[in-house]
Structure 1
């Protein structure tokens, strides 16, 4: 696996659930097609965004293609807490994709709102 999406072992200590139990306003950057990549997430975090989502990633492509993994998912230690959003129509592929990103994410979101094949 290339270093673009697996930069190094990262500790994900922030629990997104704890954010919502803090009693404070939680600022969330929802997934936006083509915009919610690492550079944008880094920018919104500078303006106190508490929780960010990746753009939707097609799980089948992500699992089957190193090129798709390298272009669709990048992160770093400051990109936390992070929820990775996948679209899938096969539970095994969704599970495989989630396993790949789980060391670098705080949660997995299943996109059920956008039409998919």
Structure 2
């Protein structure tokens, strides 16, 4: 843009027409871009993409958390060499069998 108040415009009519044409094209591109951005399909598509991204991020964090927990639990029952730690497995197995037995007895008593 030239400041017409301080210096006279020395452009030729062809230059002025070319400048006007260029500005019209730029304005048309800007208006087209605005039209695409505010179109309902674009807004819905952007919203869907954001939701999918958030779900992927949440699922990724959940996977990492579950994987970490499984590794920690596994570390309690398996040595670093991969051998089972019987001193920890046997008591847990006995507790599980005992709880299962109590639940079975309790359900049999309710049926009577």
TM-score surpassing 0.5?
no
* TM-score of the two chains, using structure 2 as the length reference: 0.14
Q: Kindly indicate which of the two structures has a greater share of residues assigned to helix.
A: 2
Q: Which structure has the higher relative contact order (CA within 8 Å, separation 6+)?
A: 1
Q: Kindly indicate which of the two structures has a greater share of residues assigned to strand.
A: 1
